């Protein structure tokens, strides 16, 4: 005979063993959207502190320029996030992003473990692209959440940032493929 607890547990699952969606799924999605905004807001603010360190440690002029340009974009992205918070009637609040913290720590580790020069530059690019890919995934998700929740203005702002993140990733790839990685491979 099932206990009352087991009965409750079995009624919350469908026949495929999947948890049934809550009746207030839209409210839960909105909450997830807001929490994710807080997370990426913290991440972008942390990145504005990490990028200058990467610029300082880069030797490639092209890499320094790419990172400097992305720092300027990141500052604009923070402003855009603040606009999104305003659109949804929330105060712009940061919530620590463990993922970004880990990615920044990994980048710092590369700086500590490599000598100045093209190999370090290759490491900076690799670390930066991991950060870009995290941001691309996050902004793509946030944009889709905004569209699903009927927030077209927020979706447009998030799409702008998503496009910038994709552009930054492409620029880093270009710098790596056309200069830094080739030079690093030639070192004996």
The pTM for the full model equals: 0.85
DSSP annotation of 115 reads -
Q: Give the pLDDT of residue 12.
A: 42
Domain chopping of the chain, boundaries: 25-186
> Taking a C-beta distance cutoff of 8 angstroms, is the pair 33, 149 a contact?
yes
Q: Give the pLDDT of residue 22.
A: 54
DSSP, collapsed to helix, strand or coil, labels residue 13 as: strand
Question: pLDDT tens digit string along 12-37?
Answer: 444 455 555 555 778 999 999 999 99
DSSP annotation of 96 reads -
Q: Give the pLDDT of residue 17.
A: 57
Q: Give the pLDDT of residue 186.
A: 79
CATH no., domain 25-186: 1.20.1260.10
Q: Give the pLDDT of residue 6.
A: 45
Q: Give the pLDDT of residue 18.
A: 53
With b for 16 or more beta-carbon neighbours within 10 A and e for fewer, the 103-117 pattern comes to bbeebeebbeebeee
Q: Give the pLDDT of residue 13.
A: 45
pLDDT block averages, 10 residues each, the chain of length 188: 43 49 77 98 98 97 97 98 97 98 98 95 97 98 97 98 98 93 74
């Amino acid at each position: 005979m099932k206990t009352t607890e087991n009965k409750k547990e079995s009624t919350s699952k469908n026949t495929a063993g999947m948890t049934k969606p809550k009746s207030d799924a839209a409210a839960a999605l909105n909450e997830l959207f807001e929490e994710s905004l807080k997370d990426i807001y913290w991440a972008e603010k942390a990145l504005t502190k990490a990028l200058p360190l990467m610029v300082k440690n880069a030797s490639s002029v092209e890499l320094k320029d790419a990172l400097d340009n992305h720092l300027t974009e990141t500052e604009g992205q923070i402003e855009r996030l603040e606009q999104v918070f305003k659109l949804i009637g929330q105060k712009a609040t940061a919530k620590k992003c463990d993922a970004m913290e880990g990615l920044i720590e990994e980048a710092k580790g590369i700086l500590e473990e490599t000598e100045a020069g093209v190999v370090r530059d290759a490491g900076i690019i690799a670390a930066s692209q991991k950060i870009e890919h995290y941001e691309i995934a996050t902004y793509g998700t946030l944009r889709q959440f905004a569209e699903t929740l009927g927030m077209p203005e927020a979706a447009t702002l998030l799409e702008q940032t998503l496009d910038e993140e994709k552009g930054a990733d492409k620029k880093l790839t270009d710098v790596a493929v056309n200069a830094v990685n080739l030079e690093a491979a030639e070192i004996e």
